[in-house]
């Protein structure tokens, strides 16, 4: 089947969704996705971030689709033409969805452990407005303890249902889910039972925002000050392949390895995630690579860096010191050619 997205044509298998086809093409045409997760069956169709414009339905029926379509749950048809980032309607819709998601989401990135790897932060950076039009009170919830390893911040939840699907599909007994309806919907353990299943920690990795975070990493570090390494260990419960988030010699956090769409490559068990914080427990493979524009790269060098000697530094600083004195001390007269630049009398 042929599908064209933003003028780029690709051949795909029947049953491929528009979002999957866009990911095969890659680049700016890939719609953002806050609820779809390729490793979780039935995910998607909730957040509407991934809307696209179908300008030609198919070769057999070229009628454009009147409404914007959620690309994560819309299958491609042969000859379909789609506009993603090239459509003004789509860009407008993404702005509106971002604004809608931020209605109740607190702007607490400075104290949120997810900052720096938050999909909503990235979405807001790209499609959000600088000002809010929402003056009403945000929806808030009482804090709830859902166990020793996972911190729930319900106020930050965007109800993407990914964590519920992890619990349904990866663990044998789901003890949490979405309770209540509409504006009152919330993730809860229903019977306030701890989420202790051996794979429950994966809910932290799939949560696109800071609603579910790692209690063992809480407030320890901003993620961009950590240095992430690929590492593995022999584990009889999971693949044992992880990313270690190091600060010096200390392992501060263990997560599954995530791809460019922030989806885990393979789910890991709670033992690997929470109980092995000694570097001796791991075979460290090397630094983990991230997208070029990720803030995590601020402290992540995947190449050996040679020290740089700046020979002129001393003279530059001396020069600046002299200029500073001239600007702030009128007693030191300026040279005639300097007068115009420094506008003597005004400084």
Q: How far is the CB of 28 from ligand FES (least distance, A)?
A: 17
Closer Cβ to ligand FES, 5 or 33, answer by number? 33
d(CA 307, CA 133): 49
Long-range (24+ apart) CB contacts under 8 A made by 134-139 are 134/99, 134/102, 134/103, 138/103, 138/104, 138/105, 138/106, 139/104, 139/183
- Residue 101 interacts with, from ligand FES, ligand SF4, none (CB under 5-8 Å by kind): none
Distances (CA, A) of 232 to 229, 236, 241: 10, 12, 4
Handedness of CA 11, 15, 18, 20 (dihedral sign): negative
Decide if residue 256 touches ligand SF4 (CB under 6 A): no
Token duo for residue 195 = 């989420």
Q: How far is the CB of 112 from ligand SF4 (least distance, A)?
A: 12
d(CA 70, CA 345): 64
Instruction: Kindly tell me the burial class for residue 245, based on how many C-beta atoms sit within 10 Å of its own C-beta (0-12, 13-18, 19 or more).
Output: buried
The number of angstroms, rounded, from the C-alpha of 70 to the middle of its chain's C-alpha atoms is 20
Give the interface with ligand FES as residue ranges (CB under 6 A): 33-36, 44-50, 70, 72
Decide if residue 115 touches ligand SF4 (CB under 6 A): no
Closer Cβ to ligand FES, 46 or 215, answer by number? 46
Decide if residue 195 touches ligand SF4 (CB under 6 A): no
- Residue 211 interacts with, from ligand SF4, ligand FES, none (CB under 5-8 Å by kind): ligand SF4
- Residue 44 interacts with, from ligand SF4, ligand FES, none (CB under 5-8 Å by kind): ligand FES
Token duo for residue 66 = 């009147």
DSSP one-letter code for 217: G
Question: Which residues inside 196-215 make contact with ligand SF4, applying CB under 6 A?
Answer: 206-209, 211-212
Question: Which residues inside 169-188 make contact with ligand SF4, applying CB under 6 A?
Answer: 187
Neighbour count for residue 241 (Cβ, 10 Å): 17
**Stretch of 15-23, 72-80, 142-150, 161-169 contacting ligand SF4, by CB under 6 A:** 161-169
Decide if residue 123 touches ligand SF4 (CB under 6 A): no
**Stretch of 95-103, 157-165, 256-264, 317-325 contacting ligand SF4, by CB under 6 A:** 157-165
d(CA 188, CA 203): 13
Decide if residue 158 touches ligand SF4 (CB under 6 A): yes
Closer Cβ to ligand FES, 124 or 149, answer by number? 124
Decide if residue 47 touches ligand SF4 (CB under 6 A): no
Q: How far is the CB of 300 from ligand SF4 (least distance, A)?
A: 25
- Stated length of the chain: 347
- Residue 22 interacts with, from ligand SF4, ligand FES, none (CB under 5-8 Å by kind): none
Q: How far is the CB of 154 from ligand SF4 (least distance, A)?
A: 8
Decide if residue 161 touches ligand SF4 (CB under 6 A): yes
- Residue 48 interacts with, from ligand FES, ligand SF4, none (CB under 5-8 Å by kind): ligand FES
- Residue 187 interacts with, from ligand SF4, ligand FES, none (CB under 5-8 Å by kind): ligand SF4
Long-range (24+ apart) CB contacts under 8 A made by 239-243 are 239/266, 239/268, 240/268, 240/272, 241/265, 241/266, 241/268, 242/268, 242/272, 242/273, 242/282, 243/288
Helix 119-127 vs helix 88-104: crossing angle, to nearest 10: 130
Q: How far is the CB of 309 from ligand SF4 (least distance, A)?
A: 48
Residues that bind ligand SF4 (CB under 6 A): 157-163, 187, 206-209, 211-212
């Amino acid at each position: 089947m042929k599908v064209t997205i933003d003028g780029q044509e690709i051949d795909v298998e029947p049953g491929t969704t528009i979002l999957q086809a866009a990911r095969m093409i890659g680049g700016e045409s890939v719609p953002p996705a806050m609820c779809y997760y390729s490793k979780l069956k039935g995910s998607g169709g909730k957040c509407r971030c991934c809307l696209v414009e179908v300008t030609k339905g198919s070769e057999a029926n070229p009628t454009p689709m009147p409404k914007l379509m959620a690309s994560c749950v819309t299958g491609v048809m042969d000859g379909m033409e789609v506009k993603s980032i090239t459509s003004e309607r789509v860009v407008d819709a993404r702005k509106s969805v971002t604004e809608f998601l931020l209605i109740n989401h607190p702007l607490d990135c400075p104290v949120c452990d997810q900052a720096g790897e938050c999909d909503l932060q990235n979405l807001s950076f790209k499609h959000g407005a600088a000002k809010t039009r929402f003056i009403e009170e945000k929806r808030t919830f009482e804090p709830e303890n859902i166990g020793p390893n996972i911190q729930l911040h319900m106020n930050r939840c965007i109800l993407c249902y990914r964590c519920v699907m992890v619990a349904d599909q990866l663990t044998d007994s789901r003890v949490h889910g979405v309770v209540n309806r509409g504006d009152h919907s919330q993730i809860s353990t229903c019977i306030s039972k701890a989420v202790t299943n051996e794979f429950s920690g994966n809910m932290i990795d799939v949560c696109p925002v800071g609603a579910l975070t790692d209690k063992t990493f809480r407030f320890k570090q901003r993620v961009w000050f950590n240095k992430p390494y690929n590492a593995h260990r022999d584990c009889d419960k999971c693949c044992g392949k992880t990313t270690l988030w190091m600060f010096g010699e200390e392992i501060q956090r263990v997560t599954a390895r995530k791809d460019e769409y922030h989806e885990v490559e393979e789910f890991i068990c709670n033992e690997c995630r929470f109980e092995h914080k000694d570097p001796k427990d791991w075979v460290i493979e090397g630094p983990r690579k991230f997208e070029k524009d990720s803030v995590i790269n601020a402290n992540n060098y995947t190449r050996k860096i040679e020290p740089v000697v700046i020979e002129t530094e001393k003279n530059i600083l001396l020069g600046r010191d002299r200029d500073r004195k001239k600007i702030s001390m009128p007693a030191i007269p300026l040279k005639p050619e300097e007068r115009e630049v420094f506008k003597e009398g005004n400084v």
